[in-house]
Amino acid sequence: MIAAGPDRWLIADIGGTNSRVGCWRRGRPHHQIEHPLVMENASFESLEEMLRHYMDRLGGNPPEAAGLAVAAPVTGNEVDLLNIDWSFRQDRLAADFGFSELYVINDFEAIACALPSLPAEDCIDIGGGAGLPGRSVAVLGPGTGLGVAGLVISDVGYIPVSGEGGHMTLPAVNDDEMRVIKRVRDELGHCSAERILSGEGIGRLHQGLHGGDRPKAREVSEAARGGDEAAIRTFNLFFDFLGTVASDVALVFGALGGVYIAGGIVPANLGLFRRSGFTERFVDKGRYREYLAGIPLKLITAATPGLTGMAAFCDPDSSIRTQRTR
């Protein structure tokens, strides 16, 4: 472990639509974020402009280091964000802001890092079994896109595993799903899970089921909550698809410690979700039904799990083991 390091960190979760920024002090609980602020990305020309706006609001002594969770794959110094026309170089960003340390990771890797630190009241049980303590966990969540990540247990702590699981090919279980997927393939050439399991995907799914113009996700959600049968059918199929993908993720990670659902769509439509077939679809894997039935299923209700996880990632004293702390 690192014995010393920066005390005050700028922590940010940079999404496709909004960004959440705050400060964390080393030695404090990871969910204890100071000066939190949510900003609309469309109000700024660049990530640098947005961070400068936040730093100007802080005044006084600026944070010494920074940890950024971004809605993009992080494969090198150059980072290109998805769903927004922003890009930056890590070395240049650190130099421009005077950060002694800068860590940039995928946003769902940050949410995975939050799981050991989340207070119990920031999650609700949505099904499953008791699970096995000290085993790997996974998280996925539909929002602007579909994020997937996990924490794999080792003899030194949890190792975060990031990937682009939202872009796996979406499987079909029945004829309705096959028709929807075919329509997406005809339009886009490939139907990834994210093409359906996202805000934009809700409208695409509704159109694939019922025809007509493609509605906004908000319109389908409002109609479903108002009792519209076509919209309810759309959400039922949406949550069926989510159950299938969640069980695939659980099997890949061996997530016997739990599978967590994040993102904005499920909490915003919790009543529809609870009445859906998500939990039944999650265990619908033939001879692996019993294996999956023992996995706890939880919904993250915390407003800023990405900030909590980013603080845990930056903290060399946490249970999260990264390349710099091994």
- Is 270 among the domain residues? yes
pTM above 0.75, yes or no: yes
What average pLDDT does the structure give for the chain?
Answer: 93
Query: 165 with 288, same domain?
Result: yes
The pLDDT score that the predictor gives to residue 251 is 97
Query: 110 with 141, same domain?
Result: no
Query: 146 with 262, same domain?
Result: yes
Query: 85 with 97, same domain?
Result: yes
The pLDDT score that the predictor gives to residue 277 is 96
Query: 97 with 149, same domain?
Result: no
Cα–Cα separations (whole angstroms), residue 231 to 69, 88, 174, 206, 228: 33, 40, 19, 7, 5
CATH number, residue 194: 3.40.367.20
pLDDT band at residue 324 using 50, 70 and 90 as cut-offs? low
Domain total in the chain = 2
Between 119 and 227, the higher pLDDT residue: 227
Query: 101 with 124, same domain?
Result: no
Percent of the chain with pLDDT over 90: 83
The pLDDT score that the predictor gives to residue 319 is 87
The pLDDT score that the predictor gives to residue 325 is 46
The pLDDT score that the predictor gives to residue 91 is 96
Query: 57 with 166, same domain?
Result: no
Query: 87 with 214, same domain?
Result: no
- Is 160 among the domain residues? yes
Res 157 pLDDT > 70 = yes
Res 2 pLDDT > 50 = no
Query: 137 with 18, same domain?
Result: no
Query: 104 with 83, same domain?
Result: yes
Q: Measured in Å, how far apart are the chain's first and last C-alpha atoms? A: 7
Length of the chain: 326
- Is 151 among the domain residues? yes
Taking only the tens place, the pLDDT of each residue in 250-277 is: 999 999 999 999 999 999 999 999 999 9
Taking only the tens place, the pLDDT of each residue in 278-306 is: 999 999 999 999 999 999 999 999 989 99
Query: 189 with 286, same domain?
Result: yes
- Is 323 among the domain residues? no
CATH number, residue 56: 3.30.420.40
pLDDT band at residue 4 using 50, 70 and 90 as cut-offs? low
Res 326 pLDDT > 50 = no
Taking only the tens place, the pLDDT of each residue in 76-105 is: 999 999 778 899 999 999 999 999 999 999
User: What domain range is 81 assigned to?
Assistant: 8-114+304-314
In the 3-class helix/strand/coil scheme, how is the chain assigned residue by residue? CCCCCCCEEEEEEECCCEEEEEEEECCCCCCCCEEEEEEEHHHCCCHHHHHHHHHHHHCCCCCCEEEEEECCCCCCCEEECCCCCCEEEHHHHHHHHCCCCEEEEEHHHHHHHHCCCCCHHHEEEEECCCCCCCCCEEEEEECCCEEEEEEEEECCEEEEEECCHHHCECCCCCHHHHHHHHHHHHHHCCCEHHHCCCHHHHHHHHHHHHCCCCCCHHHHHHHHHCCCHHHHHHHHHHHHHHHHHHHHHHHHHCCCCEEEECCCHHHHCHHHHHCCCHHHHHHCCHHHHHHHHCCCEEEECCCCHHHHHHHHHHCCCCCECCCCCC
Query: 169 with 287, same domain?
Result: yes
The pLDDT score that the predictor gives to residue 117 is 84
The pLDDT score that the predictor gives to residue 60 is 80
